[in-house]
Amino acid sequence: MTHPLRLGIAGLGTVGIGVVKIVTQHGKLLEARTGRPIEISAVSARSRSQDRGVDLSGFAWEDDPVALATRDDVDVYVELMGGSDGPAKASVEAAVAAGKHVVTANKALLAHHGQELGEAAEAAGVMLRFEAAVAGGIPIIKSLTEGLAGNEITRVMGVMNGTCNYILTRMYDADLPYDVVFEEANQLGYLEADPTLDVGGIDAGHKLALLASIAFGTQVNFDAMELEGIERIQIEDIEQAAEMGYRIKLLGVAQMTGRGLEQRMSPCLVPATSPLGQLEGGTNMVVVEGDSIGQVVLRGPGAGEGPTASAVMGDVIDLGRGLSIPTYGQPANTLRPVRGVKATKPAPYYLRLSLQDKPGALAKVAAVLGEAGVSINRMRQHGHDDKTAPVTIVSHKTTRDNLDVAIAGLEATGVMAGHPVAIRIEEV
């Protein structure tokens, strides 16, 4: 009989239980597709007594994930605990040192330690796989490392955080303010324990950093990511964008330039008729552009028990088949360090200003923008109260540097009643 592939699963939350269900319910299917049985030897989690809705009595239990990772009856260590350091990092390092393959859904761990872990795994002759770490059930890692491996990738972009997309979609559909929808998402359990990981763009930024490494053959460089979350988006921005034929999305963009690697995760206006503009709810979408393939769009569920467990099992099945692929599509020690740079390609921008309602305010705004090299395409003043006057402006194409100069100048005029909000209008 063919030797089974034996799993040790650390973390029995939503995704971990999803993996247990797939392995126990689809045993014959998995064996047919890999040519060998796939079994769970042992598991680990914070609490043994918690009712997780599945029978775990047939598996050995380890309180310490490091002990689980080094068991003799574990061939593949499946790390589903999360966290960039602590037990997750220690146990993955221990598994690699013990000659175990590793499958993880932990984007934070890889965004911060991916280079050293990739090199360690390849030096030990084991695989480090992480399909589930990016965009849930969308097979974007496999697409980049396998199906699109013959392309020079020119740009990767997408919506990679379902919670943010839910919030922005809900604001648009129900005409509700950000604070109300944020609390609604929190009550539904969509937000991380630290909500800034979601709404601050950090979670999505981790994912983009991993995709950029694979796409451009560079060392993971999350620290160079330009990050801006959706916290400052108000219902007025959603409404104004819609009137102009746009939708607001938390959009990640990575592309190589002659100056270095551009990586940014920030709110953008995208055409409402584009695939990204039509993306609803918690769904994710990744767009890849290559010199031979042109543009490929991948859309699917970005989180949840089934989709993420499906991605984990895709990696497990590859290991069961004996497929050997470098962690980032090429040997980790060949990935080149690269300088992170800010976006310099000109683009139009949407600006929302709150001005003090006094004579000459608009003239001062126009003068400051002109001095900074920011040309106004259209400007609209909305209904105002006795103290403030809301104004929205769409610029002609300009650089972010020019816009930053303009924003600093506006805040020094003495006519601003609040901080300006600037959102890039992205060509997709």
3-state secondary structure of 418: coil
pLDDT tens by residue, 369-399: 999 999 999 888 876 666 788 889 999 999 9
Enumerate the CATH 3.30.360.10 domain ranges in the chain, comma separated: 147-301+336-341
Q: 349-425 maps to which CATH number? A: 3.30.70.260
- Predicted local confidence at residue 211, as pLDDT: 98
Of 92 and 340, the structure prediction assigns the larger pLDDT to 92
CA distance 247 to 268: 8
Would you state the CATH architecture of domain 5-133? 3-Layer(aba) Sandwich (3.40)
Active site residues: 207
Residue intervals of the chain classified under CATH 3.40.50.720 are 5-133
- Please state, in angstroms and as integers, the Cα–Cα distance from residue 248 to each residue in 200, 237, 407, following that order: 15, 8, 21
Q: What is the mean pLDDT of the chain?
A: 94
What is the side-by-side order of every strand in the sheet holding 128-129? 60-61, 38-44, 5-10, 76-79, 101-104, 128-129
pLDDT tens across 152-193, in order? 999 999 999 999 999 999 999 999 999 999 999 999 888 888
| Separation of alpha carbons 225 and 223, rounded Å | 6
Q: pTM for the whole thing?
A: 0.93
Give the residue ranges of DSSP H helices in 280-360: 305-321
Please give the average per-residue pLDDT across 257-284, as a whole number.
94
Enumerate the CATH 3.30.70.260 domain ranges in the chain, comma separated: 349-425
- Taken in order 165, 167, 172, 174, is the CA torsion positive or negative? positive
Domain 147-301+336-341 belongs to what topology? Dihydrodipicolinate Reductase; domain 2 (3.30.360)
Q: What pLDDT score does 385 carry?
A: 64
The answer, yes or no, to whether residue 264 has pLDDT greater than 90, is: yes
Average pLDDT over residues 99-110: 97
CA distances from 272 to 151, 156, 241, 363 (A): 29, 20, 9, 32
How far is CA 62 from its chain centroid? Answer: 31
- CA distances (Å), origin 284, targets 77, 113, 206, 253, 301: 27, 25, 15, 14, 6
